[in-house]
């Protein structure tokens, strides 16, 4: 399954669309996600919590780092237009890859 997290862009053909980090994590937990494309800004942030594409990567990094990521890691790409968000997400992907030995 190919998962596309975004709040505004059109979903590419052949991808399953998610709108929230929680929906995306739920699909990752199935172990069926082979590709993951993430936007950073989703318009969901509140003063209490950040809810972005980076949120998914934080969860994934924790799962892999603590040995709970028993599912195969998907190929992860970023389609965000936010340069600082993109850089932060790229660093998280690199950390996930190091932790997983990929």
Q: What are the tens digits of pLDDT across the range 56-78?
A: 999 999 999 888 766 788 999 99
pLDDT of residue 9: 93
Q: What are the tens digits of pLDDT across the range 33-59?
A: 999 999 998 988 777 778 999 999 999
What's the Cα-to-Cα distance from 101 to each of 25, 65, 76, rounded to whole Å? 21, 11, 15
Provide the residue ranges of all domains of the chain, joining segments of one domain with +.
Answer: 2-100
What is the C-alpha to C-alpha distance for residues 10 and 87, in angstroms, rounded to an integer? 23
pLDDT of residue 40: 93
% residues pLDDT > 90 (the chain): 77
Domain 2-100 = CATH 1.10.3470: no
93, pLDDT greater than 90 = yes
């Amino acid at each position: 399954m190919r998962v596309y997290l975004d709040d505004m862009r059109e979903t590419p053909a052949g991808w399953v669309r998610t709108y929230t980090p929680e929906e995306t994590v739920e699909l990752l937990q199935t172990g069926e996600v082979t590709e993951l494309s993430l936007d950073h800004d989703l318009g969901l942030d509140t003063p209490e919590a950040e809810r972005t594409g980076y949120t998914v990567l934080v969860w994934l990094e924790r799962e892999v780092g603590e040995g709970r990521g028993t599912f195969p890691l998907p190929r992860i790409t970023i389609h965000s237009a936010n340069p600082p968000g993109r850089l932060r997400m790229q660093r998280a992907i690199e950390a996930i890859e190091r932790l997983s030995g990929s």
